[in-house]
């Protein structure tokens, strides 16, 4: 369906369920894949197959971002696509969440994306342009009790997406966001294994498979979406419609 032959993509949070799925699907579509994560990155690259490279990347570190881009260019040449997928979720209310955990969520979900765009843009200019996809969330469109840090980070990510889209447009670099609903990953459950957000009364009463969300992300990164920048693609199974029963 998608053809990324000759394109190089860097995916953050590659060791997670969605990140691994993205790595595999981009590789299957012909891309050179850089699977970036704090751990298990080589395993993901091996699973993706094709022309894949695993790199260590803590998205909150400017130094590690510079090293990741340098290794990408050394192996494949300039970067064409960046998927800011790394995320951290900590349950806690406005009054209860520890301040250091609030900051950790923002550092990963917001500052990590900022540093990624900052590191990737010069490489994309060498390539003549590129596409950046920020993996946001329905938490960036609404809010839920106990997710104050996550929601705050994702709402702020919307502003970053739009600002970067304007700033990079003349460099032929598109910046868009995909807002998934609840994905069947460990992030969908609390430490006791209970769903953080019930989906039984949604229009599509189930969690999304990672592959379903990956399809939206690949489309947004592809040339088939070349007229879109600063856009927000919603893939939520009807969550934003509210309960139907």
| CA distances from residue 39 to 43, 57, 160, 211 in whole angstroms, order as listed | 9, 8, 27, 21
The predicted pLDDT at position 71 comes to 98
> Cα separation of 155 and 162, whole Å?
12
Give me Rg for the CA atoms of the chain. 17
* Res. 130: pLDDT tops 80: yes
Supply the residues annotated as catalytic: 150
Phi, psi of 108 (to 5 degrees): -75, -50
Among residues of the chain, what percentage have pLDDT more than 90?
90
- Reported as half-sphere exposure (CB side, CA atoms, 13 A), residue 71 has a value of 17
Candidate from 51-60, 101-110, 192-201 with smallest mean pLDDT: 192-201
Structure tokens at 164: 């970067």
The predicted pLDDT at position 198 comes to 85
226 falls in which pLDDT band (50, 70, 90)?
very high
| Class of the CATH domain delimited by 8-241 | alpha beta
Domain residue spans of the chain: 8-241
196 falls in which pLDDT band (50, 70, 90)?
confident
* Res. 70: pLDDT tops 80: yes
| pTM recorded for the entire structure | 0.96
* Res. 187: pLDDT tops 80: no
Phi, psi of 203 (to 5 degrees): -60, -40
162 falls in which pLDDT band (50, 70, 90)?
very high
pLDDT in tens, 141-150: 998 889 999 9
Provide the H-helix boundaries in the chain.
17-28, 41-48, 62-76, 99-106, 112-127, 148-168, 210-221
The predicted pLDDT at position 1 comes to 78
Mean pLDDT for the chain? 96
pLDDT in tens, 8-42: 999 999 999 999 999 999 999 999 999 999 999 99
């Amino acid at each position: 369906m998608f053809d990324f032959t000759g394109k190089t993509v860097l995916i953050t949070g590659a060791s997670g369920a969605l990140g691994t799925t993205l790595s595999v699907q981009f590789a299957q579509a012909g891309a050179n894949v850089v699977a970036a994560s704090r751990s298990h990155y080589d395993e993901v690259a091996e699973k993706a197959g094709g022309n894949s490279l695993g790199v260590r990347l803590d998205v909150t570190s400017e130094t590690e971002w510079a090293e990741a881009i340098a290794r990408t260019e050394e192996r494949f040449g300039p970067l064409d696509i960046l998927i800011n997928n790394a995320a951290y979720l900590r349950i806690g209310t406005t009054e209860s969440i520890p301040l250091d955990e609030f900051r950790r969520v923002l550092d990963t979900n917001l500052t990590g994306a900022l540093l990624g765009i900052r590191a990737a843009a010069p490489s994309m200019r060498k390539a003549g342009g590129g596409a950046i996809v920020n993996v946001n969330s329905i938490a960036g469109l609404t809010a839920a009790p106990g997710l104050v840090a996550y929601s705050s980070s994702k709402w702020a990510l919307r502003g970053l997406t739009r600002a970067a889209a304007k700033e990079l447009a003349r460099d032929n670099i598109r910046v868009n966001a995909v807002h998934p609903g609840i994905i069947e990953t460990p992030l969908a459950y609390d430490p006791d294994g209970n769903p953080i957000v019930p989906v039984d009364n949604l229009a599509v009463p189930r969690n999304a498979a990672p592959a379903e969300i990956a399809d939206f992300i690949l489309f947004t990164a592809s040339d088939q979406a070349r007229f879109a920048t600063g856009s927000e693609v919603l893939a939520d199974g009807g969550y934003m419609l509210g309960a139907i029963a």
